[in-house]
Structure 1
Amino acid sequence: MLDESKYSWLSLEWFTPTGFQSFDWAFPIFLYALPLVLILFLLKWLIGTKIKQKLPVALPKQDIERSWTSYLRVIPNLFTALALAMLIVALARPQRTNEEVEQWTEGIDIVLIIDTSESMQIEDFKPNRLEAAKQTARDFINGRFQDRIGLVIFSGDAYSLSPLTTDYELLGSFIDTEVDFGKIENRGTAIGSAIATGTNRMTESTAASKVMILLSDGDNTAGNIDPITAAELAAAYGIKIYTIGIGKDGKVPYGKDFFGRPNYIENTLDETTLRKIAEIGDGQFYRASDNEALSNVFSLIDQYEKAEIKETRYKNTTDFYPIYAKWGLVFFILFMLSKSTFVSNVLED
């Protein structure tokens, strides 16, 4: 970084490539005039050699060698060229802009509730319902910004896998290693207990928006809390509930027989209850029958539940054209001094 103190303009660093690359230019079009300075003085020299008067003098050959002092005559022209170049750079107005951004967000607290019952092994999703749900949950989490997210899993019981946190890497690790069919021993589908567990995680939340996303593929067959009652309790805490029914109705592939052929079982889903839960929670119900549909559902929810991000930008612009204007003045003064001295009057061969 170039020094910007009182006498820093005397530094030769202002003429280095690094110095020029650090600038923004308000009027960069002027920089195209720099080559014209060189062309101008080249033309001046060519024209001068053609029209300059010459005095024929007869001298011995050994006396007509050019003296080094004859080169001093170019010094005034050099100072003139440098003065013009500095003027052009100053007109291009070199500057630096520092931009500071203040950003804050009204965070959202989100609890993901994932069904891990045996029926989530059904393979109408690839590779199965649970793995599809896990991948979609990972993508959803990675797309959030400064939102606290918690995880609840359930089958015959509900289990709070992670408290509300912004450590998305930790959440991803939990999804990879802890969300599986063997985590909860009791079999069944305790939807009411899952909602109650998620609500318990939200009781001390002070977030502007609290959201619960429930993903299940079956009927409420376990637990000691009715899903509708649990939904009403969540609504009392101001929690919005989205419900996602996962899976197809009718015969679906589940495991393989002795010969490696897929077995088919009859699948049902209590869509009515899931719709009612979403209605009570002022959210929406979605039905997903394959991986793409599930991904689209989470994308919709992601769009609906965006935190309000406020951003304030500050720009501080510093101009550096006075530095080059000062150098231009210095070179002009040197030109005036040199052109009145012997330097410009050196005899030419």
Structure 2
Amino acid sequence: MQQFEFVHPQLFWLLLLLPLLVVWYLWKRKQQTAALQISSIKGFKTGKNWLARVRPLLFVLRLLALAAIIVAMARPRTVDESTRIKTTKGIDIVIAVDVSASMLARDLKPNRLEALKSVAARFINNRPNDRIGVVEYAGESYTKTPLTSDKTIVLSAMKDINYNTIIEGGTAIGMGLATAVNRLKESTAKSKVIILMTDGENNSGFIDPKIASELAVEFGIKVYTIGLGTKGNALSPIGIRPDGSFQYGMQQVDIDEELLKEIAEVTSGQYFRATSTTKLNEIYEEINKLEKTDIEELKFKSYDEKYRPLIFLALALLGLEWLLRYTVFRSFV
């Protein structure tokens, strides 16, 4: 990006001398002009001499030369600035998303899953220098996308997360956590983080969440756990109609907060409770602040000085003034 600047803009105050020089020139010229009083000019041949009329041109040339010198002294130049971002070993993050049927509950708007996807997408966009992966889990778990720095892929994967009947039903928190750990165990990042989200209790899968959290500790992985859902009752799916659509009814929100707190504490993370979309957004902002990536910004500036043409212009004007003074205006100056 190119910018134009003056290194010494304060020197423009010298331009105020130009009006004073004009006043001085007019006053001096009036004093230097000789006057002869005679009773009549009859008998004298009169005529108009154009050289006398354009004589002030010499002073104008000198003023223009002085103005060019002042502007040159202010050192005009263009600055071409380029920036390069250099990151040290950043942060590798895996977002583990519960996609069980209860995630369609409507206590978060429009439902828990869609609210989660929207907020997580903003979080991903705020982490341009980190690698991010996505894991889905319900009664079993699998990797939606491995760790990648290509945010387009991650955002597309997050957008494509939907409830489906392909994954076995239930909530296998241990399976989801273990799969996320597996994605991070060989990472060489300076910090490895899992964001585990669920709205229920561990009731499926063959891996105990506590064992999965011990694996996370072994590989130096920090786990932030988020419990999704209001406290009390929520409008949740309670059955499927013949046409395949869900029938909704009020159900008690049961989140195993003790388990989520224990996982976070053991792995040096934190537990959060998201009772609304606004609260969920605040939680992600908090995690974003807690997990900072060291970024070194290198700026390169290329300067192109523009004062030289002004100096040459001033010299040319002074040269022209000198030439006219001692040639064309020699007998008049």
Q: TM-score, normalised by structure 1?
A: 0.81
- 1-structure distance, mates of 2:299, 2:126: 24
- 1-structure distance, mates of 2:97, 2:167: 15
- 2-structure distance, mates of 1:183, 1:299: 32
| Larger helix share, 1 or 2 | 1
Say whether residues 1:157 and 2:143 are aligned partners. Answer: no
* Partner of residue 12, structure 2: 31
Equivalence map 1:1-349=2 (5 Å): 23-34=4-15, 36-37=17-18, 40-41=21-22, 44-45=25-26, 48=29, 52-55=33-36, 58=41, 66-105=48-87, 106-176=89-159, 178-182=160-164, 184-254=166-236, 263-317=249-303, 319-343=305-329, 345-346=331-332
- 1-structure distance, mates of 2:102, 2:289: 29
- 2-structure distance, mates of 1:219, 1:181: 18
Give how far 1:59 is off.
6.8
Give how far 1:164 is off.
1.0
CA 92–207 in structure 1, closer or farther in 2 if over 3 Å, else same: same
Task: Tell me whether 191-200 or 78-87 shows the greater mean CA deviation.
Answer: 78-87
Asked whether the equivalents of residues 242 and 283 of structure 1 are also in contact (C-alpha less than 8 Å), the reply is yes
Task: Tell me whether 162-171 or 323-332 shows the greater mean CA deviation.
Answer: 323-332
Give how far 1:170 is off.
2.3
- 1-structure distance, mates of 2:237, 2:216: 37
Q: What secondary structure is seen at the aligned counterpart in 1 of 2:136?
A: strand
- 1-structure distance, mates of 2:108, 2:307: 65
% identical aligned pairs: 36
Asked whether the equivalents of residues 128 and 151 of structure 2 are also in contact (C-alpha less than 8 Å), the reply is no
Asked whether the equivalents of residues 286 and 297 of structure 1 are also in contact (C-alpha less than 8 Å), the reply is yes
| Structure 2 unpaired stretches of 5+ | 242-246
Q: What secondary structure is seen at the aligned counterpart in 1 of 2:329?
A: helix
Give how far 1:175 is off.
1.9
- 2-structure distance, mates of 1:183, 1:43: 94
Give how far 1:188 is off.
0.2
Q: What secondary structure is seen at the aligned counterpart in 2 of 1:345?
A: coil
Asked whether the equivalents of residues 38 and 81 of structure 1 are also in contact (C-alpha less than 8 Å), the reply is no
- 1-structure distance, mates of 2:204, 2:162: 18
Asked whether the equivalents of residues 3 and 79 of structure 2 are also in contact (C-alpha less than 8 Å), the reply is no
How many residues were matched structurally? 323
Task: Tell me whether 319-328 or 205-214 shows the greater mean CA deviation.
Answer: 319-328
CA 58–86 in structure 1, closer or farther in 2 if over 3 Å, else same: same
Q: TM-score, normalised by structure 2?
A: 0.85
Q: Which amino acid aligns with 1:227?
A: P
* Partner of residue 244, structure 2: none
CA 211–183 in structure 1, closer or farther in 2 if over 3 Å, else same: farther
Give how far 1:230 is off.
1.1
Q: Which amino acid aligns with 2:187?
A: S
